Structure formats: C-alpha cells, structure tokens
Chain A
Amino acid sequence: MSFEIMGISSALIQKQSVAELEKCNDLTAQFGLRLSQCDAVDLVKTRNLALKDNGRIEFGGGVIEKIIREFCNSPYLSMHNYAESLHDLTDMFYYYKNETLDLMSDDDLIKFMKQRFDGICQGSLELLSGRELANMARNIRFGYTSEYSEDLACNEEGEDDDGES
C-alpha cells in the first residue's frame, strides 16, 4: 500500500496521452506535420523521462499538446525534424520549468520558446536552450523580467549619461 507519487503513471494514463497527441494531427495536417502512433508513444516516453529527470510530476497530459499547438505553424518545422524537435522542446520545457523556479506559467514559457525559436534563434534548438532560455531563466531567478538584457541595460545607461552631458 503505497502513497508514493512517483509511481503514478499507469498504462492507462499513457494510452490516453498517446490518443490525445494523435488527435493533434487534425490541426497540424494543414502545416504538413504529422505524428505516427509510434512517434506519439515515444513522445510520451520522453515526457515521462523528462519529468523523472527533472524531479517533477504531471497529472493529466497537456504540455506536449500545447507545444504542438504553439509550434505547428513555425516555418522552421517540417516533417523531417518535427518529431525530433518535439522531443527536444519537451525536454527543454521541463528543465526550464525548474530553472525558472516555477515562476513562469506553462503558457508563457511555451510562448517565449516559440517567439525566440522563430525569431532570434531562427529554428536553432541549441541557441534556444543554451542561450535564450538560459538567459531568461537567470533573469527570472534574479528578479528581472524575462526580456531583460544586460547589454540593453548598459546601452540605456550610456544613452542617459550622454543626454545628461
């Protein structure tokens, strides 16, 4: 008789999550993106592993679905890298949930990831994870806004000084 919560993920929940992911194909088909059942099963496995690695627990699915809905219209995603990118994005998501000390909501974090992925990172997952998300997490931990940049702050200070002189 155990109330340990790490062992909750039952086969039933997993099956339900796979079905939910497959349903997303209806939406992503218009962008030429599609997950096979095998991909969906792998993604759910990745999610479980990421949760375990990051010491988190999730009741009900939802996050991969949210990632898919947000990222499906990205110009940097195609069938060639779709499933692989979703694995990386899922991993990143849970890692940075911890790194931001849970101060950022799921939706805000996913939106931030999408904005940077399509914008400054130009589809590079390495830049997104290693630079943009890392900077953002540091900003959040130090009490700045997620957009804060030291370079920008220095420039603004310099401009203020010029204005004064």
Chain B
Amino acid sequence: MTMANLEKRHLIDSKNLSGESYFTSILHEAYAYGLLNDSEIENIQLQCIKFLAYKSERYNDGESSSIRVEAAESIMKSNLYTIGLYLKSLPDADCAVSELKIGKIPEMYQKGRVLINGKVHSAKHFYIMAKANKITTLNYTYNATLDEGIGIFFKAYNPDYAAHEVMASIDYQLCNPVTDLTGVEFVLKYLENLFIENEFCSYFDAEDIHHLLSGYDEGYKDLLINIFEQLVTATLRCTLANRSVLKLDSLKEEIERLQDELAEDDDYLIALKIHKATEKVLRELRITTLSLRRYIENSLPRITSSIVNAVRTNTLGKTFVSPTNPDLKPKIQFLSSAKMDDKDYREFINELLICRYSSDKLALIKEKVKSFGDIEDLLFDARLSEEEITSVLDIFRDVEIAELIRRHPFKSSIQAVDLSETEQTLRLYVKSYVDQLTTERQERIFGLVNHLMVDER
C-alpha cells in the first residue's frame, strides 16, 4: 500500500450525519464520541440562543421585543441549517468539530450565508440550463414543475429567516430522488439531476418519446411518471433485443422472447445482462459525459429490480413497453341526431314529471325522444329513480352506453367533489348499471369508450 492510498481515520462516521440537520447531528456525534464536553456544548447552545435573539430582533425590525414561538423556531432552524451548510463545506467532520470548538456562531453563520448565496446562484444557472434542454412532452407534472413550480422557489426563498425551507411546487419525480437534503441544497441537487435526465432524453426524438409513453399509458400526460426511467428501460429493452436504441421500437414477440430468455436466468445474471446492455447503450448513444454516465449507473439498481420483478411475475410487457401511436388507433365518431325544440322539450319534461307509473314514463320516452342528446338531458331533468334510469339505459346499445360513460365517467367521491349532485348521482347509477352487465359486454363497452373520438364542437 502506498502512502497515497492511506486514508485518514475519522472519529465521526460521516454516514451517521444527517444531510438535512447537519449541525445538530454533528453535535450529537461529537458529544457521543467525547469530542465536545458539556461546557462546550452549553457554550454553543448559548451562542445559538443569543444569535437567535439578534435575528429575531432583525425579523421584527426592532419594533417588537417578543416573537411567536413558531416564527422563532423557524428562524432557529434556518440559522442551524445555514451554519450546518458551512460546516459541511469543511474537509471532514473532525474539522467541523474543531471549528465548533473555536469558532463563533455568528461568524460561522455569515460564512454559511455566503455559501447559500453561491448555491442560489448555481441553482439559477442549473434552472436556466434545465429549461434550455427541456424535452417536448405532454406530461403535465414535468411541464408544470419545470415551467412554473421551481421558478416559485427563486421568488419565495427567504435565506435569512427560512433558509431550510423549499418554497417550490416540485411534483415531477426524479429517477434518483433527492433525499436527506433541504432548502437550497435540495433545489440545487434536484435541478442538477433534472438537467442530467433532460440531457439523456434529448438523445431521442420527441415523437418517439410520445409514442413510448403512450405505449406505457395513453393517459400518461396526467401520470406521475419519470420519463428518463421509461427511456432508459426502453433502451435496455432495445439492446437486449439487439435493436437500435434510437427509435425505441419493439415487437410484442421480442418482449415475449425476452421474457422466456430472462426467466431462465437468476437475479444476478439478469443484473449482469442489464449492466452489459447499459454499457452498450452508452456506447451506441456515444455518451461520454461523466455525470450522465454516473447518473445512469445510479439508476440501474431501481430499474434492474423492476425488470427482475417483472420477469418473475411474468409481466415483462408492462415494464418493457412497446411504443404505440395513439393517432393510428381506429376512431369512432359518435353523432347524435338533432335535439328537440326547447319548448317541446319543456312540455315533454312536464308531461314526464306528472306521470305516475314508471312504465308510462318509459313508454313516453320511447315514443317522443329520438336523439341521444335529449335522453342525456332528461336523465338529469326528469327526476328519474335508479330503477327508471336503469330501464332507460336498457334501451341503449353498447355504443350509446360507451358515449354516456365517456361523457360522464365515474369518479370517486373525492374526485367528484366539484360535480353537481345530479351529475354525481347519474354517474353512480351508470356505474352500477355497467357493473351488473356481463363481463363480455363490459369489455366491449370499455373498448368502444377508448375508440370514441372526443367531440370538438
């Protein structure tokens, strides 16, 4: 062993230190290992409280001698976070402890504050870069997070009194989530990772990504999915099937073949194959950026485990997604005949309301209503009971029920909170009606729902 390989032995194990509350965790560790004694700890606490008093006075602009406990606690957390940031910047935990012994809290805070300014500046830079290499996708959370959500942070971040808070609306989940960090450190790391993910995604055509994600789920625009993870998985699928990775194509038979092939291997061998496939992907895409290579490698355990799990449960088709072009799917245009005149409709509803027997109501509907639009209206207006609505729905053919479901899809009580009571009731009745149909008919109806074109009028 050469001298260069010798590593300095540290008393404090950095793995035991919290990234979020570094300051308090290092005090705990230092105290536990006897690096700080009681009087030193007390001195640090007293300095922190004095500094809190100073910051609280500034917070109140000197106009109030007291402060709400929650506000004081937040300021204290902010102070400790800022000091922790400075201590983290020191070479190791032992240096941080030495600094705590001799350093003054206000000075350490000021140094941390300078670091925060630098990090905010870096985060802004990464934000601009991540926006510049943003991919074109319909996914809502991706767009909302990058366009607006993170931008809020730069307007709302208060490094003086709430440095530890993440005032941003970050809904888009990364493949390698940022953990154990908070405040500006979290945002900086998130943006770094997002930039790297975007860099990988930009190797592919936006349309190919759209087709791949449509293959995963046609409603992907509303899903909380990670696009990078889907792409990496797709490139692995292409490589394992000896295809070019750039188009992300695949055939169902290939996936079936891969399922059979991988099912024979043990977990270790699958992981090895995936690792080799990753190397091939990196070569084919000519990825040389170290940060991107490292990020992909860090994502592998998560992707490998989902592939292994899919192989074991014989559901590889769900993980290795085949791209689909939603525009090529056959479409059904539903056209309803013209509605009756408003005056006639009012008279008809009045007549219906005074009918005593359900059979009379049904006979009247059959006799007078000729358009789907009118039936849809009367389901709301005629105050029909569930049995009566069921009788009306019995008149419908599959395509009409499918259109009714498309227009009035069932939503859980939480999702339906904005809907009117009659709308909620109708949706519930339609759902109970469909539930009691035979499985075959249900499948037929839901198949039609997917093919019905959205009425643009």
- What residues make up the interface of A, taking CB atoms closer than 8 Å to B? 1-3, 5-6, 8, 51, 55-63, 94, 97-98, 102, 105-107
Contacts and interface: CB of A to CB of B under 8 A. Distances in A.
Contacts of A55: 68-70
B59 to A, nearest CB: 10
B279 to A, nearest CB: 49
Contact size range, B: 20 to 34
Nearest to B55: A59
A98 B80 contact: no
Contacts of A107: 63
Given A1-B27, A107-B63, 19 more contacts: A1-B24, A3-B24, A6-B69, A8-B49, A51-B66, A55-B69, A56-B69, A57-B56, A57-B67, A58-B65, A58-B66, A59-B53, A59-B57, A60-B53, A60-B65, A102-B60, A102-B64, A102-B67, A106-B64
Overall SS of chain B's interface: helix
Contact of A5 (B31, B49, B57): B49
Given A5-B76, A102-B60, A59 B45 contact: no
Contacts of B53: 59-60
B52 A56 contact: no
Interface hub of A3, A56, A94 (most chain B Cβ within 10 A): A3
Interface string B381-398: 000000000000000000
Interface in B69-89: 69-70, 72-73, 76, 80
A102 B69 CA distance: 12
Contacts of B45: 1-3
B48 interface: yes
Contacts of B72: 5, 57
Nearest to A50: B66
17 contacts: A1-B27, A3-B76, A5-B52, A5-B73, A6-B69, A55-B69, A56-B68, A57-B56, A57-B66, A58-B65, A58-B67, A59-B53, A59-B56, A60-B53, A94-B66, A106-B65, A106-B66
B41 interface: yes
Contacts of A102: 60, 64, 67-68
A102 B65 CA distance: 11
